[in-house]
Amino acid sequence: MTAFTDGHELVLVDSTATSLDRALPDECVVEPVDAGIGARCDARGPQLLRISTGDAPAQIAAADLPRRVALDVRLGDAENVVEGGAGDDRIIGGAGRDTLYGGPGDDLVVGGDGNDYVRGNGGDDDVRGGEGLNFIFGDGGNDVLRGGSSFEFFTAGRGDDVVYGGDGGDDIGLGAGDDIAYGGDGDDEIRGGSGADRIFAGAGDDLVRARDGEGDEIRCGAGTDVARVDAAELDEARRSCEKVRQADVSAVDPADQDTVD
């Protein structure tokens, strides 16, 4: 299945969708659609466009849809690429390898069971991995990023974000804003950003880096953890982390730092 936006319409090409309809507000009815979908029915309320692709590969590009049109996309087991629109979209991946982008709205983007690349883009998004090896991005907005049971890479981006690592070993990078990170189980690496962050490493042998000159909160958990922190976080990190290395924000080489047991 291939779909793209043309003005304010979503046009389908080579459609193999198993289910496709538009849900409209008030007195409008749910209307099955075969070829093209007009994005306008009634200016008084939002619209919901539902697409289920089945197991055929899908490419959906809906960036030009207006704000009042939200997508609800359910993908199958193939390799899929979806770009959401300006509305508050729900994009749910399947067992295949998916590349999923939200839009400017407040989106829910879920990778599924394959090895996925999932990105919230603008808005306050809920972005989730799944069972595979995933790359999870928040971008702008105050986002919530959630891992699954495998190894995942997180990039929080701008805004005040919350990151939940999964059961595997995760790589978590926080960005601008006052972020919160939970490492979860597994051997994680968590890097603070430019804001006043709160980092809870969780179980496993974790590495925490918080050397941005901000007043971060560092809490290590079960396992043998290493924290590389500013002087301001040194005393707190020593209470829960097995090894603490102090460096100011200008330090370049970790080997030049002092180790405090």
Best CA proximity match to 163, nearest among 119, 205, 199: 199
Q: Which residue has the higher pLDDT, 221 or 255?
A: 221
DSSP-derived letter for residue 63 is: T
d(CA 8, CA 216): 46
Q: d(Cα 146, Cα 7) in Å, to the nearest integer?
A: 34
CA distance 208 to 127: 23
pLDDT at 53: 82
pLDDT at 42: 46
Average confidence (pLDDT) over 54-72: 84
> Longest Cα pair distance anywhere in the chain, in angstroms?
69
pLDDT at 68 over 50: yes
Q: Give the Cα separation of 247 and 231 in Å (integer).
A: 7
What pTM was computed for the model? 0.81
More confident residue, 183 or 13: 183
Exposed/middle/buried for residue 255 (C-beta within 10 Å: 0-12, 13-18, 19+): exposed
Q: What is the pLDDT of residues 84-115, one digit of tens each?
A: 999 999 999 999 999 999 999 999 999 999 99
| Structure-model confidence comparison of residues 68 and 194, the more confident one | 194
pLDDT in the model for residue 10:
56
Give me the residue spans of the domains in the chain: 2-222
* Amino acid at position 10, single letter: L
State the amino acid at position 181 in one-letter form.
A
